[in-house]
C-alpha cells in the first residue's frame, strides 16, 4: 500500500494511491499501544516502546532482535549517538539505560515524580535530558548517573524535550501550551515560545538548529525561527491532534503522527473497537518551505503516536495505538 491523497465526503475518506511510498514491513509483536519508534544511528535497527511493558528491537524485515522487559508500560525511548545504548522510561518514573548489543540493563536513573514522557541524548552522548509528569526537565550525567540540573518553570506535564544540534540548548514542550528554550550550561531560561492554544506534545530541531517545529493538541504544527523567536509558518490540515513530528534528515520535510478520529469518533471507537476497514489518515508529510501537504498515509487502524525518519532519509516508521509499527520505503 502506498501513500494516498484523499477527499473527505462527510465521514468517508476516498483514497487515491500516489506511489510516493511503499509499505515495506508491518511490525506485529506488541500487545498494546506503541508510544514511540526510533531508528538506530546506523539505520539498521528500529526500537519500539509500548504500554505492554516492553521495548522491542527489530531489523527492517520485522524480526525481533532484542526484548527489553519493564515492570510497567514504556512511554519513551532513544538511541545514544553511537548506537551502543538505548534509554527507556515510562510509568514507573525510572529511566533505564540498556546495552544494545546484548540487551543488558546497564544503569537505572531515579527518574521523576510521575511518568517520564520523554528522554533525549545530547549530541556528544555524555548527558541525557528527560521530561515528565512532574512538570520538570532534568539533565543527567551518564558516566556517574548523577542528576546535574533540573529546569523548573512549566506549569503542567512536559511531554517533549530535545537538544539543539550543537548541544547548547534544550527545548521543552508542555501541556501548559508553551515551548521553553533553556541554556544547558547554566539552566537559564532563554526564551518562551507562545502561540499554541492546546498542549504541546512534541518538538524537533532542524539539523542546522535555526528552526524548531512543534506538534500540538490544537491540531496544528508550528514552525519557529529560533534566532528571533518568531512564528514562521502554521501547518493546518483537516487532521486531529498532532502527537509527534520529525524533520527529514535534509530538513525539507516534516513527518507528523495524528489522531485518527474527532473527539466524538474517539468515543465511538472506544466502545465499538478499531476497524481494519475504517482506516483514516494518521501520518502526514509536509513541505517545510511551502507548508504544502505532500504525502498522507492511511495504513494504521487507530491513532499514530510517533514517526521517525531513518538517518539516510529513505525510510519512515510510524507507531500506533493499534499495536503495530509500519515501515515505509520512501521514493527518492
Q: Which H/E stretch holds residue 133?
A: none
**Pairwise CA distance, residues 151 & 137, whole Å:** 5
What's the confidence (pLDDT) of residue 197?
97
**Pairwise CA distance, residues 266 & 248, whole Å:** 30
Q: Which of 173, 198, 179, 205 is nearest to 288 (CA)?
A: 205
Number of Cβ within 10 Å of residue 184's Cβ equals 20
What's the confidence (pLDDT) of residue 238?
76
Cα torsion 80, 87, 318, 118: sign: negative
DSSP 38-49: EE-TTSS-EEEE
**What's the count of helices (H) and strands (E) in the chain, helices before strands?**
1, 30
Residues 172 and 179: beta-carbon distance below 8 Å: yes
Give phi and psi for 175, each to the nearest 5: -65, -10
Give phi and psi for 30, each to the nearest 5: -80, 155
**Pairwise CA distance, residues 115 & 138, whole Å:** 13
Give phi and psi for 270, each to the nearest 5: -60, -40
Q: Which regions of the chain are under pLDDT 50?
A: 1-17, 262-273, 275
DSSP label of 251: S
Q: What pTM was computed for the model?
A: 0.90
| Angstrom distances, CA of residue 171 to CA of 63, 179, 256 | 34, 7, 18
**Pairwise CA distance, residues 302 & 291, whole Å:** 25
Residues 77 and 88: beta-carbon distance below 8 Å: yes
Amino acid at each position: 500500500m502506498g501513500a494516498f491523497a484523499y477527499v473527505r465526503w462527510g465521514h468517508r475518506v476516498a483514497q487515491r494511491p500516489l506511489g510516493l511510498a511503499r509499505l515495506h514491513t508491518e511490525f506485529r509483536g506488541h500487545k498494546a499501544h506503541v508510544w514511540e519508534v526510533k531508528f538506530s544511528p546506523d539505520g539498521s535497527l528500529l526500537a519500539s516502546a509500548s504500554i505492554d511493558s516492553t521495548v522491542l528491537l527489530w531489523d527492517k524485515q520485522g524480526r525481533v532482535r532484542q526484548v527489553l522487559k519493564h515492570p510497567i508500560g514504556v512511554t519513551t525511548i532513544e538511541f545514544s549517538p553511537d548506537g551502543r545504548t538505548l534509554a527507556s522510561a515510562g510509568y514507573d518514573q525510572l529511566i533505564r539505560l540498556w546495552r544494545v548489543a546484548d540487551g543488558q540493563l546497564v544503569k537505572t536513573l531515579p527518574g521523576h515524580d510521575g511518568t517520564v514522557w520523554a528522554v533525549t541524548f545530547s549530541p556528544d552522548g555524555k548527558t541525557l535530558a528527560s521530561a515528565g509528569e512532574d512538570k520538570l526537565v532534568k539533565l543527567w550525567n551518564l558516566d556517574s548517573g548523577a542528576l546535574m540540573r533540573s529546569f523548573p518553570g512549566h506549569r503542567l506535564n512536559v511531554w517533549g524535550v530535545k537538544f539543539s544540534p550543537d548541544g547548547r540548548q534544550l527545548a521543552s514542550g508542555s501541556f501548559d501550551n508553551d515551548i521553553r528554550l533553556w541554556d544547558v550550561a547554566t539552566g537559564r531560561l532563554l526564551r518562551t515560545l507562545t502561540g499554541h492554544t492546546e498542549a504541546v506534545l512534541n518538538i524537533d530541531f532542524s539539523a542546522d538548529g535555526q528552526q524548531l517545529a512543534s506538534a500540538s493538541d490544537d491540531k496544528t504544527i508550528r514552525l519557529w525561527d529560533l534566532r528571533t523567536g518568531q512564528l514562521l509558518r502554521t501547518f493546518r490540515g483537516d487532521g486531529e491532534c498532532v502527537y509527534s513530528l520529525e524533520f527529514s534528515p535534509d530538513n525539507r520535510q516534516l513527518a507528523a503522527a495524528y489522531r485518527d478520529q474527532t473527539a466524538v469518533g474517539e468515543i465511538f471507537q472506544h466502545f465499538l473497537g478499531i476497524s481494519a476497514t475504517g482506516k483514516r489518515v494518521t501520518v502526514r508529510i509536509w513541505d517545510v518551505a511551502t507548508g504544502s501537504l505532500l504525502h498522507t498515509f492511511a495504513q494504521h487502524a487507530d491513532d499514530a503516536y510517533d514517526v521517525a525518519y531513518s538517518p539516510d532519509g529513505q525510510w519512515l516508521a510510524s507507531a500506533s495505538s493499534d499495536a503495530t509499527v509500519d515501515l515505509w520505503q520512501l521514493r527518492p
